[in-house]
Amino acid sequence: MPELVHRVDSPGQISAAAQRLRAASRLPLSPQRAIDALERWGTALRGASVDAVPGVAFLRLWLRRGTLEPLLQRELGAEALRGGWSQEHNARLQAFPIGVVGHWPAANVEIQPILSLTCSLLGGNSALVRVPTSLVEETRALLDKLREVDGEDLLAGRIFAASFPHERLDLQQAMAAAVDGAMIWGGLEAVTQLRALPFPHWARVLAFGPRLSVAAMDAATWMSKPQRASWCQRIARDLWQFDQQACSSPQALFLERGAGGDVDEFVAALAAALRQENSLHPRRVIDPALTSAICAARANWLLEDGEHRGVFPPGPDWTVLVGSGAAIPRPTQGRTLPVLLVEDLNDPIAAFDGAVQTLGLAVADAKKEEALARAAGLNGVDRVVKLGRMHVFGSPWDGVDLVRPMMRLVRHMPSHDGVEEEIVKK
């Protein structure tokens, strides 16, 4: 079985791979055929080699027809699903791939190389992916499953996953020079360096830089005892996925004060949910630096204010820090969640500065939630979702489409009479 993750040592290897990929991208691939192949891939993502990859359960959902068809219909229109032209007055319009899309996924989300490359495949493009060194084995296991169900090389023939050290500037430059578009994910330093690479002047570049996310609950919701356990379970799941390293991971939870509300009861319920999640998905390894950061965060929180409290086990598995205030504390990650009481949920939202990507909400009153969502949108938030769904990958992401930017919308004005009438009749 041919390898899909390649160890790359020279710029020539990248140039040759891009040449093959560009030829593949010129072969017709309708959205329906792409979705058929992606759904088969998602169904095949089971077994010992992939079950342990964090996020693989979500990846199976992402690759379903029920997820991908609505995404394409929203971004490209109903006609695009059939791979045909759509009529606009006297012209016809159809979306075509741009060619080779380069992908630079971040290393903090194990399934991100796959999530990123599927966005270009959905548009009929080919994908040239630089796989972070720490994710080579996970990416290889996931791509091997594609090989098992892609007998025609429909998608596999459009993928080249390159493994090389990020310090190899010559290889980074060769990859940038070989693509027609780029999807870049990562922290500030990485995104800044990658955007400075020598992309062709026609290349389209999408950069998903460092963001953070928060959660918020109104008093009526967190004070409701019948619903409390369910909401706490949702928070725990959002906290656990991707080990709180994703840009969509909650880094703080704001609680609206309410008369008669006992925050200690809520925190006890949240701690129980975190213990349960830890028993279901225990941490296998932890970096010593993260352990130190968690210990320091606990100590600093308790020392800086006599009103602060903390609930956590002896080990670094999870941490709840209780206090008040509308400012987002500096993120610790490692499943560390500050729970902050505020008089009004508008107070923290008003302080958002564009760094907040996702706001996870649990609000009992629909009109109140609508007002909060509007305020969040005006203050730079790109996604407002129900708690428990903060990591649901969908379009738009960071406020932009995922497939459409890597496609060209071709306009055709027919050269002979009667064509427009025939199209309308059909």
Q: Report whether pLDDT(86) > 80.
A: no
With a pLDDT cut of 90, the percent of the chain lying above it is: 82
Question: Range with the lowest mean pLDDT among 12-16, 20-24, 49-53, 121-125?
Answer: 49-53
| Cα–Cα distance, 323 to 67 (Å, whole number) | 39
If pLDDT is split at 50, 70 and 90, which confidence band does 169 have? very high
Q: Report whether pLDDT(424) > 70.
A: no
| Cα–Cα distance, 239 to 195 (Å, whole number) | 30
Domain 5-209+398-425: CATH architecture, name and number where available:
3-Layer(aba) Sandwich (3.40)
Q: Which residue has the higher pLDDT, 261 or 326?
A: 326
User: 396-410: per-residue pLDDT in tens?
Assistant: 999 999 999 999 988
Under 8 Å CB-to-CB from 290, ≥6 apart: which residues? Answer: 316, 333, 334
If pLDDT is split at 50, 70 and 90, which confidence band does 418 have? low
If pLDDT is split at 50, 70 and 90, which confidence band does 87 have? confident
User: 335-351: per-residue pLDDT in tens?
Assistant: 999 999 999 999 999 99
Q: Which residue has the higher pLDDT, 242 or 205?
A: 205
DSSP 328: P
User: 108-118: per-residue pLDDT in tens?
Assistant: 899 999 999 99
Tokens 């400075």 sit on residue: 196
If pLDDT is split at 50, 70 and 90, which confidence band does 422 have? low
Pick the CATH number of 212-386 from 1.10.3720.10, 3.40.309.10, 3.40.50.2000, 3.90.1150.10: 3.40.309.10
Q: Report whether pLDDT(140) > 90.
A: yes
Q: Report whether pLDDT(312) > 70.
A: yes
User: 182-202: per-residue pLDDT in tens?
Assistant: 999 999 999 999 999 999 999
Question: Is-same-fold flag (5-209+398-425; 212-386)?
Answer: no
Cα distances (Å, whole numbers) of residue 162 to 174, 194, 253: 12, 16, 39
User: 257-295: per-residue pLDDT in tens?
Assistant: 998 889 999 999 999 999 999 999 888 888 899 999 999
The predicted pLDDT at position 425 comes to 52
* Domain parsing of the chain, residue ranges: 5-209+398-425, 212-386
Q: Which residue has the higher pLDDT, 382 or 81?
A: 382
The neighbouring-strand residues paired with 96 are 408
The predicted pLDDT at position 85 comes to 78
Segment 357-373 shows an average pLDDT of 97
Q: Report whether pLDDT(81) > 80.
A: no
Question: Degrees (nearest 5) of the Cα angle 28, 400, 128?
Answer: 45
Q: What is the dihedral of CA 88, 92, 96, 98, to 10 degrees?
A: -80
Closest by Cα among 73, 76, 353 to 211: 353
| Averaged pLDDT of the chain | 93
If pLDDT is split at 50, 70 and 90, which confidence band does 417 have? low
The predicted pLDDT at position 92 comes to 83
The predicted pLDDT at position 1 comes to 54
DSSP 317: S
If pLDDT is split at 50, 70 and 90, which confidence band does 322 have? very high
With a pLDDT cut of 70, the percent of the chain lying above it is: 97
Segment 1-5 shows an average pLDDT of 74
DSSP secondary structure, 173-198, as one string: HHHHHT-SEEEEES-HHHHHHHHTS-
